[in-house]
Amino acid sequence: MDTVGTFEMAVVMSQHCLFTAIHKHYTLDDWKLFATKHPECLQHVAVSSGSGQNDLEKMSSILEAVPQVKFICLDVANGYSEHFVEFVKLVRARFPEHTIMAGNVVTGEMVEELILSGADIIKVGIGPGSVCTTRTKTGVGYPQLSAVIECADSAHGLKGHIISDGGCTCPGDVAKAFGAGADFVMLGGMFSGHTECAGEVIERNGQKLKLFYGMSSDTAMKKHVGGVAEYRASEGKTVEVPYKGDVENTILDILGGLRSTCTYVGAARLKELSRRATFIRVTQQHNTLFS
């Protein structure tokens, strides 16, 4: 997302061995400058692209100019279109040695299709994001925990991998995604509102805020494509989130939470978490007295 997947974010993330899917709106020159200044980050970032021709050409030029970048993130709203499957094949043919992340989908058969078409890691999640309105605008979606469990099963059977993308609101959710079998967990909202995010800090009534929006929201469409096309509805919202300071603190909080989860279930490594995970269905997440 253009607010979260920034170069500034990548610098901090890579210090903790975390990964950044850099948004697709940086220019080639931005990339070259970043690569020169922060060569140590490059193994922990991906170049993103939609399925359009312009996106593909720009991504190709970036990957040529910065060969240290080994990851490609192919991202469309609807990973179920045949057009996208063809696009994944095309990118695989052109970049045989890059690791391709592709999505989003929510069901096992489509995970398999994309892996067999050349993707390595499948992004799982339709509509769970905090600024995503796909579910209210279209009624389409899939509960994220079940999607992760089912898609992980399909992917692992083919020695593929998945990313749980969206729906995490707290470190506990990240732990649940890993527990459900996700190999990676992608975060948007939880990383929003930090110093490293794009956009200015807004001050209002003594409160500091930052803008955060979905990539199909009015805000994003106006910014990048000049508006919402007539035949479509915006499928994202725009919110002002409280400014949370440096992302470093949030990262430590998430990693600390995950470590704690692992000790609770007796997993010495993250790898063991899903094998040690037994989920209990509940009717209440936490005591609501003071929330």
Do 20 and 45 meet the contact criterion of CB atoms below 8 Å apart?
A: yes
Distance in angstroms (rounded) separating the CA atoms of residues 260 and 101: 29
122 counts as binding other proteins under rule CB under 8 A:
no
Please state the closest distance from residue 114 (CB atom) to other proteins, in A. Answer: 11
The H or E element containing residue 144 is helix 144-157
Q: Find out whether 214 is annotated in a ligand binding site.
A: yes
Q: Find out whether 266 is annotated in a ligand binding site.
A: no
Q: Find out whether 129 is annotated in a ligand binding site.
A: yes
Query: Applying CB under 8 A, which part among 3-11, 25-33, 222-230, 265-273 lies near other proteins?
Result: 222-230
Residue 49 vs 107, nearer CB to other proteins? 107
- How far are the Cα atoms of 118, 125, 182 from residue 98, in angstroms, in the given order? 10, 23, 21
- Contact characters 73-112, other proteins, x per CB under 8 A: ----xx-xxxx---------------------xxx--x--
Please state the closest distance from residue 110 (CB atom) to other proteins, in A. Answer: 7
- How far are the Cα atoms of 110, 113, 154, 215, 276 from residue 107, in angstroms, in the given order? 6, 10, 9, 22, 24
237 counts as binding other proteins under rule CB under 8 A:
yes
Residue 14 vs 192, nearer CB to other proteins? 192
Binder of other proteins out of 36, 53, 64, 139 (CB under 8 A): 139
Q: Find out whether 76 is annotated in a ligand binding site.
A: yes
Active site residue 134: yes
Please state the closest distance from residue 64 (CB atom) to other proteins, in A. Answer: 27
Distance in angstroms (rounded) separating the CA atoms of residues 46 and 29: 16
Do 20 and 46 meet the contact criterion of CB atoms below 8 Å apart?
A: yes
Prior bond of 104 cis (ω within 30°)? yes
Indicate the pairing of strand 161-165 with strand 99-105.
Answer: unpaired
SS3 239: strand
Query: Can you say which residues are annotated as belonging to the binding site?
Result: 24, 75-77, 126-127, 129, 132, 135, 165-167, 188-189, 214-216, 231-236, 260-263
